[in-house]
Structure 1
Amino acid sequence: MYQIVASDLDGTLLTSEHQITTYTKQILTQLHQQGKSFIFATGRHHVDVAAMREQVGIPAFMITSNGARVHDSENTLIFQQNIAADTIQSIMKILAADKTLQANLYRNDDWLVSREDFYDTSNEAHFSYKVFDINNPPVDGVAKIFIKHEQKNHDKLALLETQLNAKFSDKVHITFSSPNCLEIMDKGVSKGHALQAIAKMKGYELKDCIAFGDGMNDFEMLSMAGKGLIMETAHHKVKEALPNLEVIGRCDDEAVANYLAKHLLVQK
Structure 2
Amino acid sequence: MIKAIALDLDGTLLNDKKEVTDRSVNILRKLYKKGIEILIVTGRPYSSTTKIIERLGIPMTAICYNGGKIIDTISGEILENKLLPEDVAKKLFEYIEVKKLNINIFMNEKWHANDLESESAKIYKKNSGLTPIKIDLKNFSKKNITKGVIIDKTEVLEKYKKELEDLIGKKAYITFTQPTYLEVLNKDINKGKALKRILELKNIDIKQCMAFGDAENDKEMLETVGVNVAMKDSIDELKEICAYVTKNSNDEDGVAKFLEEYFNEK
One-letter code of the match for 1:83?
Answer: L
Equivalent runs, 1:200-211 vs 2, <5 Å: 200-211=200-211
Give the distance between the partners of 2:2 and 2:48, measured in 1 at CA.
Answer: 27
Equivalent runs, 1:162-173 vs 2, <5 Å: 162-173=162-173
Equivalent runs, 1:223-242 vs 2, <5 Å: 223-239=223-239, 242=240
Give the distance between the partners of 1:124 and 1:261, measured in 2 at CA.
Answer: 28
Equivalent runs, 1:40-119 vs 2, <5 Å: 40-74=40-74, 75-99=76-100, 101-117=101-117, 118=119, 119=121
One-letter code of the match for 1:130?
Answer: I
Q: Percent identity?
A: 27
Question: Shift of residue 125 of structure 1?
Answer: 7.3
Q: SS of the counterpart of 2:166?
A: helix
Change (3 A) 1:187 1:124: closer
Range with bigger deviation, 38-47 or 165-174: 165-174
One-letter code of the match for 2:252?
Answer: D
CA contact (8 A) 1:2 1:264 kept: no
Q: Tell me if 1:196 matches 2:196.
A: yes
Change (3 A) 1:114 1:41: same
Tell me the residue number matched to 1:39.
39
Tell me the residue number matched to 1:140.
143
Please, what TM-score do these two structures have when normalized by structure 2? 0.92
Give the distance between the partners of 1:220 and 1:255, measured in 2 at CA.
Answer: 21
Give the distance between the partners of 2:169 and 2:58, measured in 1 at CA.
Answer: 38
Tell me the residue number matched to 2:261.
262
CA contact (8 A) 1:105 1:113 kept: yes
CA contact (8 A) 1:30 1:265 kept: no
Change (3 A) 1:187 1:125: closer
Tell me the residue number matched to 2:215.
215
CA contact (8 A) 1:88 1:139 kept: yes
Question: Shift of residue 177 of structure 1?
Answer: 0.8
Change (3 A) 1:134 1:16: same
One-letter code of the match for 2:155?
Answer: D
Q: SS of the counterpart of 1:147?
A: strand
Range with bigger deviation, 157-166 or 136-145: 136-145
Structure 1: where are the runs of 5+ without partners? none
Q: SS of the counterpart of 1:210?
A: strand
Provide, for residues 207-237 of structure 1, a one-character-per-residue CA deviation record: whole Å limited to 9, x for no partner.
0111000000001001111111101111234
One-letter code of the match for 1:215?
Answer: A
Question: Shift of residue 252 of structure 1?
Answer: 1.2
Number of aligned residue pairs:
261
Q: SS of the counterpart of 1:220?
A: helix
Give the distance between the partners of 1:138 and 1:208, measured in 2 at CA.
Answer: 42
Question: Shift of residue 30 of structure 1?
Answer: 0.8
Q: Tell me if 1:247 matches 2:245.
A: yes
One-letter code of the match for 1:254?
Answer: D
Tell me the residue number matched to 1:157.
157
Give the distance between the partners of 1:94 and 1:52, measured in 2 at CA.
Answer: 34
Change (3 A) 1:61 1:244: closer
Provide, for residues 133-158 of structure 1, a one-character-per-residue CA deviation record: whole Å limited to 9, x for no partner.
12223222211111113xxx222210
